[in-house]
Amino acid sequence: MSTDRLIDAILQKKNPTVLGLDPQPSHLPPEFLQEAAEEYGETLEALAIAAVRVNEVLIDALHDIVPAVKLQLACYEQLGPAGMVVFAETAELAKAHGLYVIADGKRGDIGSTSEAYSAAYLGGVQFGDKFLTVYDTDALTVNPYLGSDNLEPFIKDCERHDKMLFVLCKTSNPSSREVQELPAGDRVLYKVIAEQISRAGAKLVGSYGYSAIGIVAGATQPSAMRVLRERHPGLFFLVPGYGAQGGNAEDIAYSFDKYGRGAIVNNSRGITCAWQKSGDPLPDAARRAAIDMRNDLQKHIIMV
């Protein structure tokens, strides 16, 4: 089960951190940008080359510390076709280093379009006698707000191909309450979403008791995380918002069960941009930041 593989990787490294590889041009070290510009000029292709080289350095420096990476698709799409080549190469390299790969695209649409999104990231495309995989990531983030027929193709592919979903539930952005806390009968909307997701994933539960259909629950929403964990012990949480967005390890601990399982915490800029604060080379700064985050989480989350 895909969820079990993720939990095994977390327990092996005693670290529930997922490294966000989000190559914004302003976040790339100047020496990488300069080298790529000398080869390809000031082009999208140069930015893509710089991005993939940075990702390679980060994966090489951190694969023994973090169990997973999360690739924000928007950051690759903005670089055009070359950016999506970088996405594919980064995902492949991460998997070759034994890392669990989450595609963060927040996809979701009418059924037939969701089928296409799911085929790209979780399943594949049939061509004659061959079944062709595309990006073959381990998990994908999806948006639930078009209803159950939006989610069904993704859930089916999770079952067929041993993949995982993270469904938006209570996100870390400040204005999330404008929609996610709207009244829905005697509840609020994000709690309704969590209940629906819990039911939808009930048949895809692994040996640790967690479903392959999880949710996104932001680190900046500790009270919501506490309620969601108490009510839905089988939901695995993807937790954004640590560090730069204001989430801290003490609050994040509410996402985990008593064994220190049930969640993985994203950090992007805090690790990949650590060189900007320290002045150290990219791999050294990133490695120190990743170790600091692991140690911070371990103070509040005991994994057994």
Task: Catalogue the active-site residues.
Answer: 106
Which DSSP letter does residue 236 get?
Answer: P
Exposed, middle or buried, 113 (CB in 10 Å: 0-12/13-18/19+)?
Answer: middle
**Phi-psi domain of 162 (left: phi exceeds 0; alpha: psi -120 through 50; beta: other):** left
Q: Which H helix or E strand runs over 30?
A: helix 30-40
* Chain centroid offset of residue 171 CA: 13
As a whole number of angstroms, the distance between CA 218 and CA 176 comes to 10
Q: How far are the Cα atoms of 100, 140, 145, 161, 244 from residue 153, in angstroms, in the given order?
A: 22, 12, 15, 12, 34
